[in-house]
Amino acid sequence: MEIITIDGSYGEGGGQIIRTAVSLSAITQKPIKIINIRKNRKNKGLSHQHIACVNAIKKLCNAKVEGLFKGSETMEFYPNKLSPKDFTMDIGTAGSISLVIQSILPVGLFIDKDVTINIKGGTNVKNSPTIDYIKYITMDILNKMGYDGQVEIIKRGFYPEGGGEVKLHIKHSKLNKIIDLVELNKNNNVVEGIIFNQNLDAQISKRIRSSATNLIMKHGFIPNIKIENIKGSSSGVGIFLKYGSLGSSMLGEKGLRAEIVGASAVENLLKEINSGMALDKYMGDQIIPFLPFYGGSVGVSKITDHTLSNIFVVEKLLNVKFNVEKYKNNNCNGFLITC
């Protein structure tokens, strides 16, 4: 079979292209060659995080991979028949568990038996969806589509030590056609959330919650935010908020006041709510690899570079065409994506 060449420098030229490309290669059984990997980045080529994602898909389809090493700017991936099996992988330090799960999820559509994948690394790290977002937003939306999967958080891991552990459970399933993922369902006014604090002063958690709840109530919503104070091998704090199908996260960091952490998470969520669209900008890119398998349209608040990268790769490997247009209806302000 002819190998499909994908330009890894397309658009934002980041790891999203790699994650989606290897996942769809496993699904379609089409070999791929990714060139110019992260060509425009300061640290060019594959990082440990990207290698972990490739290795996860490699295990699920017994793929042959060439050029899989740190700094590699060209990689070839030759998939074999999907042969799902339980396995454990350690990304190392605080490499994002969420991004590895992103790579695995589309492949889960085509497995013929139940699998449990144990992943060790970082659960709540910068430049990556928090594991809470994957568990409560990504999986919730996919479950409603008919995807039978679950994320189980065993331990939390923060930068730089990591030490987090998550189990991804996937059962053989089939997507159903989505009926309403364009406009946000505003049937209630409750904002749910969790503040996770590992090894730090419990007062920090209370300050974050106080700041978040005050702002939530100021805008006419009812807060229901729990606090999780735990011990672990790494230290960190943050907040995750959920309203319907929308999510927002904010990590604490040295020098950043707890009150700002709480308020920033709320402000980001309010922006998403005010768009009136069913999906936030982060779910907008995550849903792209699934759209071709059921068809239809989704509404997103913003088209990000990651969304465009995913569209580019999916069109290349699945021979489909996406249409993106501005959406303004019923006081909504966002974009409609149709496949």
Q: Distance between CA 283 and CA 300 in Å, rounded?
A: 8
Query: According to the annotation, is 286 in a ligand binding site?
Result: yes
50 is catalytic: no
Q: Distance between CA 303 and CA 142 in Å, rounded?
A: 20
N-to-C CA span, the chain:
26
Query: According to the annotation, is 283 in a ligand binding site?
Result: yes
Residue 174's CB: how many other CB atoms inside 10 A? 12
CA distances, 158 to each of 97, 137, 148, 266, 311 (Å): 11, 20, 28, 22, 31
Which is the catalytic residue, given 50, 169, 219, 306? 306
Query: According to the annotation, is 16 in a ligand binding site?
Result: no
Count of residues in the chain? 339
Decide: 210 and 242 in contact? Cβ < 8 Å. Answer: no
Query: According to the annotation, is 86 in a ligand binding site?
Result: no
3-state SS class at 68: coil
Half-sphere exposure of 8 (CA within 13 A, CB side): 26
Sequence ranges of the binding site for ATP = 102, 282-286
Q: What amino acid positions are annotated as catalytic residues?
A: 306
Sequence ranges of the binding site = 102, 282-286
